[in-house]
Amino acid sequence: MKLPQIAIVLMGASLGLAAQAQTEIQWWHSMTAVNGEWVTDLAKQFNSSQSAYRIVPTYKGVYDESMTAAVAAFRAGNAPHILQVFEVGTATMMASKGAVVPVGKVMRDAGYKFDTSVYIPAVASYYTAPSGEMLSFPFNSSTTVFYINKDAFKAAGIDTAKPPATWPEVALAAAKLKASGHKCPFTTAWQGWTQLESFSAWHNVDLATKRNGLAGLDARLVSNSPLHVRHIENLANMSKQGLFIYKGRANTAEASFISGECAMLTTSSGFFGNVKKNAKFAFNVATLPYYPDVPGAPQNTVIGGASLWVLAGKKAEEYKGVAAFFNFLSNPEVQSASHKRTGYLPITTAAYQLTEKSGFYKENPGADTAVNQMIRKTTDKSRGIRLGNYVQIRTIEDEEFEQVWAGKKSAKEALDSIVQRGNELLERFEKANKS
């Protein structure tokens, strides 16, 4: 009995020593299920690839919860080193200068070459400050795409080889689906993101001034243009005719696509893995519909998803570990594997080419739709949307659109109200972050 006890004590002691020599890096994230396993695996891979640092990933609730948790932790002086923040929180993080360390600086200080030009343009520009410094590390980027239930199309006698590419074609297909007895021809998740933000970039029109907020905090919403009104009116009409069925805020509509209840859906490309695993019908991922008479459409879509922020107030040695981890994540092979596994964008051109070479897109038609939408050359109107208080503005968009679908407000009234209420929040944000 004595010997094993001594062995255990010795083992414990040596483990303790090893742990002491390693620098621990806390990483708070919001990935669950399949994506949660992905994050854990990334940390494991990195930890076993070297011995100086140890990444500790912790799930801290959905995006807005983990952000609130990090804010509280920062105020109390025990924030994590790395925080995953969704795109809606980007402007808030950028404005919190004392709380974050730009990723470019972290990499430089640790002696790594950090070339932002390898990233897909829309991704890089989104996380870059007007000064040209990259502030956060692109991690899981997604964009909005259009999912189609092929079996439902066949049952309604629609050609599945040519999915509806424009909004008039969507309305026609929806009418045919309805005539064939389908109860929910078209629905959308993330209505603000898909029908207003991505819609604007896709049609190369401004959602807000100052290059949609990328160029400064004094940006204001202009999303009540005739084209915006026309689109929301169109959706309102479809809703009245039972062609568009509203299924709720955020991503609740996604469940009604997987169950087969709704035949067409606009939502995140990150939904791909879920459909592939759970849908009991053949499906297609198409590009977002557009209006063919709008010059410049289709342009490109904007990104969603999240990036990794480095929080301030840590030791230099710890920042070296963060840089080493980011360097590991920058490997095209790691990025390509992540892209294939999750449906998030490949982030860099090299990772995209690597994925293409492997034959993945041939085996999984539709998986490259999001990439194709994003990889185009961007314009000032389509580079990305980055506005302060955006969590609240998204809610305002939800509230006003619901009034339109319920027939209480016209498209114009609702959009005017979004602009007015949203701009009050933008003014307040500008003021609070002036310093």
Applying CB under 8 A, which residues contact other proteins?
A: 64, 67-68, 71, 74-75, 92, 95-99, 183, 246-249, 256, 259, 261, 389, 391-392, 395, 398-400, 402-403, 405-406, 408, 421, 424, 428, 431-433, 435
Q: How far is the CB of 413 from other proteins (least distance, A)?
A: 12
Q: How far is the CB of 365 from other proteins (least distance, A)?
A: 30
User: Smallest gap, in angstroms, from Cβ of residue 75 to other proteins?
Assistant: 5
Spatial contact of 309 and 131, defined as CB atoms under 8 Å apart:
no
Q: How far is the CB of 403 from other proteins (least distance, A)?
A: 5
Q: How far is the CB of 400 from other proteins (least distance, A)?
A: 7
Is residue 53 within 8 Å of residue 324, measured between CB atoms?
yes
Question: Nearer Cβ to other proteins, position 63 or 272?
Answer: 63
Q: Determine phi and psi for 310, rounding to 5 degrees.
A: -100, 125
Query: Which residue number, 197 or 368, has a Cβ lying nearer to other proteins?
Result: 197
Three-class DSSP labels, the chain: CHHHHHHHHHHHHHHHHHHHHCEEEEEEECCCHHHHHHHHHHHHHHHHHCCCEEEEEEECCCHHHHHHHHHHHHHHCCCCCEEEEEHHHHHHHHHCHHHEECHHHHHHHCCCCCCHHHECHHHHHHCECCCCCECCEEEEEEEEEEEEEHHHHHHCCCCCCCCCCEHHHHHHHHHHHHHCCCCEEEEECCHHHHHHHHHHHHCCCCCEHHHHCCCCCCCCECCCCHHHHHHHHHHHHHHHCCCECCCCCCCCHHHHHHCCCEEEEEEEHHHHHHHHHHCCCCEEEECCCECCCCCCCCCCCCEEEEEEEEECCCCHHHHHHHHHHHHHHCCHHHHHHHHHHHCCCCCEHHHHHHHHHCCHHHHCCCCCHHHHHHCCCCCCCCCCCCCCCHHHHHHHHHHHHHHHHCCCCCHHHHHHHHHHHHHHHHHHHHHHCCC
| Shortest spacing between CB 432 and other proteins, in angstroms | 5
Q: Which is nearer to other proteins, 40 or 403 (CB)?
A: 403
Minimum CB separation from other proteins for residue 402, in Å? 4
Q: At closest approach, how far in Å is the CB of 256 from other proteins?
A: 8
Closer Cβ to other proteins, 246 or 271, answer by number: 246
Gap between the Cα atoms of 122 and 32, Å rounded: 26
Shortest distance, CB of residue 344 to other proteins, whole angstroms? Answer: 24
Residue among 99 and 322 whose Cβ is closer to other proteins: 99
Residue among 277 and 408 whose Cβ is closer to other proteins: 408
By beta-carbon proximity to other proteins, the closer residue of 50 and 68 is 68
How large is the greatest C-alpha to C-alpha distance in the chain, in angstroms?
Answer: 85
